[in-house]
Structure 1
Amino acid sequence: MTRLTRNTLPLLALLSGCAAPLSQAAVSLDRTRVIFPGGEKSVSLGISNQNAQLPYLAQAWIENEHAEKITSPLVVLPPIQRLEAGATSQIKIQGLPELSLLAQDRESLFYFNLREIPPRSDKPNTLQIALQTRVKLFYRPAAIAAKTGANQTPWQEALTLTRQGDRYLANNPTPYFVTLIDATKTLESASASDFKPLMIAPKAQVDLGVSAKALGDKPVLTYVNDYGGRPQLQFHCSADTCTAKPVTSQRCPSSHDVLT
């Protein structure tokens, strides 16, 4: 029996009436990113077996930002479990004391992996495909966690752009990671052809990867929030510096967005 593994990121959220793309995976996760708040001992994730006829094994693990499998400072419990046909279950991400060794003034990046293992086929020469979901896992220290019930401005709105020649540099002054998935010249225009989704680390600066001419003097960037939503920011430039304002309407996610 041969098993092939390929990555997929199922988009599960329904955003303002937008239909989410369907995943081919039998075992699916209930979110597109994981936030582990500082001060919490664990976080529980929901998983389900979308196959109505067959049981599957669900294997889970965590990787660091270098795609290396780790067992500290976060660990997955249980690392493997059986899901009956159509069943749901939970996976716990447990924090260990080593979390205190991470930076406490900004987020740290990990990756949560969930692989489905199909039942062994009793038919000869059968090709079985095991799909794997990989999503970003952010450890968010208590010092920078949002206060419960507080109506806070999304930190992504603090992004600024700096024009250098024919390039835009995106500046992230916040202690949070920011994922950008689209860049356009106007609210109505198509995506800049050379733009590729990128993530800006806390207190970091990156080149958007497209010419300033392609984005004009009122660039529109789309980011991913904690809930998988895709809000937009329109930038207004004065000289070589551009500041962001939120766009009230929300765009529907495309299949291109699913891999972020």
Structure 2
Amino acid sequence: MIWKSLLCAVMVFFSDDVQALVSLSGTRLIFDGRFREATIEVSNRGNAQVLIQAWLADARNPDTASTQLPFVVTPHLAQLPALGKQALRVMYEGVGMPVDRESLLHLYVLEVPRRSEARQQLSIAVRQRIKVFYRPEGLPGDPADAAQSLVWQGAAFDRSTLKVRNPTPFHVVLQRIAISGVEVSEDLMLAPFAEVLLPFTNSAGARLRSGQLSFKALTDYGGQRDFCAQVEENTPFNARLRMPSAQSSIGKC
């Protein structure tokens, strides 16, 4: 009977209360290397004060201690009043990061709830994570053009593989990569100068020779832009931005 009561309490808590009261003002943070810091706002949507903790981690090695990175997040700990806001500042020491390409970090914000006075009530800390792109000053090219600079090619030796290369110093985040409507990958992030092989099903492979490549690319602000291209099976090709008037087109790009 005791276990049944506890289970009910947990189920009620998860169905009604397990949702982040703290929200961030963006889904990503671009750290422009021309400046020594970048800022993102944290808001408390709840009617009670909450404690937040914030830190950075290397995206390639999340276990790396934040003290090993040449960045500081301030405030590291903060009390947010009900319906209050707090600016988080990410500051760079000025040395220690690559200067020929973007670097990817993760910003974590941990929301620590107030201790509940209700018996048999669980309290769960909610952790959020967003990408931080540190963009050194003076990188060649425009990050807005990076998606259309990607080099695509159907592998000549294997009709079930599509190759994509990122020749730019910027990260490119893609979604809904498809060949003639057949999905190849739901999402993909290409690091600077990286190359990736995308395997796909036979149905997509059959359309590779004369098919149409389509995908969405995320902007610095988290928006989406549509790109498309006619597939050239054994020849490298680039995609281009789909014009607004052709958003609903199912014909050739």
Contact 1:57 1:116 in 2 (8 A): yes
> Which SS does the other structure have where 1:195 is aligned?
strand
Pair 1:89-2:80 in alignment: no
Counterpart of 1:220 (choices 209, 214, 221) is 214
Q: Which has the higher helix share?
A: 2
Partner of residue 159 from structure 1, selected from 131, 150, 155? 150
1:238 is matched with 232
Shift of 1:137: 0.8
Distance between the aligned counterparts of 2:112 and 2:165, measured in 1?
42
Shift of 1:35: 1.0
Alignment-derived partner of residue 250 in structure 2: none
How many equivalent pairs are there? 219
- 4+ residue runs of structure 1 moved beyond 3 angstroms? none
1:119 alignment counterpart = 114
Distance in 1 separating the partners of 2:136 and 2:45: 34
Pair 1:44 & 2:34 matched: no
In the superposition, the TM-score normalised over structure 2's length comes to: 0.79
1 CA distance for matches of 2:74 and 2:141?
Answer: 27
Which entry has the higher C-alpha Rg, 1 or 2? 2
Map 1:38-117 to 2 at 5 A.
38-51=33-46, 53-65=47-59, 66-68=61-63, 69-71=65-67, 72-97=69-94, 100-117=95-112
User: Does the Cα contact within 8 Å between 1:220 and 1:235 map onto a contact in 2?
Assistant: yes
Check whether the contact 2:108–2:130 (CA below 8 A) recurs between aligned residues: yes
Give the equivalent residue in structure 2 for 1:206: 196
- CA shift digits 1:115-140 (9 cap, x unpaired): 11111111121112322111111110
Distance between the aligned counterparts of 1:63 and 1:102, measured in 2? Answer: 13
Over 3 Å counting, the alpha-carbon distance change for 1:87 and 1:145 in structure 2 is farther
**Structure 2: gaps of 5 or more residues:** 1-9, 11-17, 248-253
In structure 2, the residue corresponding to 1:28 is in which secondary structure? strand
Q: More deviation in 62-71 or 205-214?
A: 205-214
RMSD of aligned alpha carbons: 2.5
Higher RCO (CA-CA < 8 Å; seq separation 6+): 1
Specify whether residues 212 and 174 from structure 1 end up closer, same or farther in structure 2 by C-alpha distance, changes over 3 A only.
farther
Structure 1 unaligned blocks of 5 or more: 5-22, 252-260
Identity of aligned residues (%): 28
Residue 153 of structure 2 contacts residue 232 of structure 2 at CA under 8 Å; is this kept in 1?
A: no
Q: Give 2:131's match in structure 1, choosing from 136, 140, 147.
A: 136
Query: C-alpha displacement at 1:39, in angstroms?
Result: 2.7
CA deviations over 1:203-245 (Å, ceiling 9, x no partner): 1111224247427321111121110011121022234223201
Does the 8 Å contact 1:35/1:226 carry over to 2?
A: yes
Equivalents in 2 of 1:135, 1:78: separation in Å?
Answer: 17
Q: In structure 2, do the counterparts of structure 1 residues 227 and 212 end up closer, same or farther at CA, with 3 Å as the change threshold?
A: farther
Distance 2:66 2:73 in 1: 10
Distance 1:153 1:58 in 2: 33
The answer to whether the 8 A contact 1:167-1:212 is kept is no
